[in-house]
A = this chain, B = another copy of it.
């Protein structure tokens, strides 16, 4: 799951990981084997640790290459013999703790201490910039870009050509393609609202996904686009967002979509291409909105919407029914 944004502090001996999981007494063959990364069941290799928390992934689990896998008692038998099951009560909380060990900077979103005034960077001549612009380490910016006053581009962020970044903008953990406009006061790429609610002290889980904004997009003022936890948050090509929009972690929006002011899209929902969403509409988490869908202003969408539908209302229903019922 690694990428340019989050430093992997590994490898760690498996014994260190067992310690975190309160499994230090578990007997494993090679106490000193080194674990290099946390990966999903499919992409994990023999030097990685993985996790398996729902039978949905049964087919992938039985062929995983991971040497160790955090899982539950009722799933452990599915794993291959080459994979040592690490049985815990709460798989997601446990993998979260291990991921935090590898990627501690993905938890707390401390401000970027590597930034310099843009005048003191190589972008001094390349970018047209305002006052008090701050640029982090390893940032890349294409040609013909503008960055407004007081904006902060944190470390490793990548911005394409012909982009307009407004004033008071904060961008972190994000890849922006070309011809993109990010308007004033946007916050792009902070962690999502994801945590384990524990009495007196919630446990945040790591967000090692990023935000990707494709070519020709526009993001309106005061909008927030959170980065993904395990996958990425994506805004498709030529999609326009109005002001004060909130896009939560792991959301994917397709191409050529139009999202009006104050819309909120909850975590992990997938919005298609050519979708129109009216002002103040809300879309619940983990939903699929098909291509060419139109959602009326103020709607509350709480179930999947098939492609080419027009819906409105709270809960959102076909716009024909909405109008009929509200004559």
Contact = CB atoms under 8 A, between A and B. Distances in A.
Interface of A: 108-111, 113, 115, 117, 128, 130-132, 134, 146-150, 152, 164, 166-168, 170, 179, 181, 183-185, 187, 190, 193, 195, 197, 199-202, 216, 218, 220-222, 224, 226, 237-238, 240, 242-244, 246, 248, 255-256, 258, 260-262, 264, 266, 278-280, 282, 284, 297-298, 300, 302, 313-315, 326
B128 A113 contact: yes
A230 to B, nearest CB: 19
The 6 closest A-B pairs by CB, nearest first: A111-B148, A298-B300, A193-B242, A280-B282, A224-B243, A187-B221
B266 A260 contact: yes
Most B C-beta atoms less than 10 A away, residue of A246, A256, A284: A246
A212 to B, nearest CB: 17
A166 to B, nearest CB: 7
Given A111-B149, A187-B243, A222-B222, 16 more contacts: A132-B150, A134-B149, A150-B150, A184-B187, A187-B222, A190-B221, A193-B261, A199-B256, A200-B216, A202-B218, A221-B224, A246-B262, A261-B266, A262-B264, A280-B300, A284-B297
A284 B296 CA distance: 10
B200 A237 contact: yes
Contact of A152 (B128, B149, B190, B238): B149
Given A314-B314, A326-B315, A164 B108 contact: yes
Contact of A170 (B152, B184, B302, B315): B184
22 contacts: A108-B164, A109-B166, A111-B166, A131-B132, A132-B132, A185-B185, A185-B222, A187-B243, A190-B221, A193-B240, A193-B261, A195-B240, A200-B237, A200-B255, A200-B256, A222-B222, A224-B261, A248-B261, A282-B297, A282-B298, A298-B300, A313-B314
Given A197-B258, A246-B262, A256-B200, A111 B167 contact: yes
A298 B297 CA distance: 12
A302 B149 CA distance: 38
A246 B264 CA distance: 14
Nearest to A261: B246
B240 A202 contact: yes
Contacts of A313: 314
A110 B246 contact: no
A279 B266 contact: yes
A150 B167 CA distance: 10
B243 A246 contact: yes
A238 B200 contact: yes
Nearest to A220: B193
Nearest to A148: B111
A130 B148 contact: no
A319 to B, nearest CB: 11
Contacts of A190: 183-184, 221
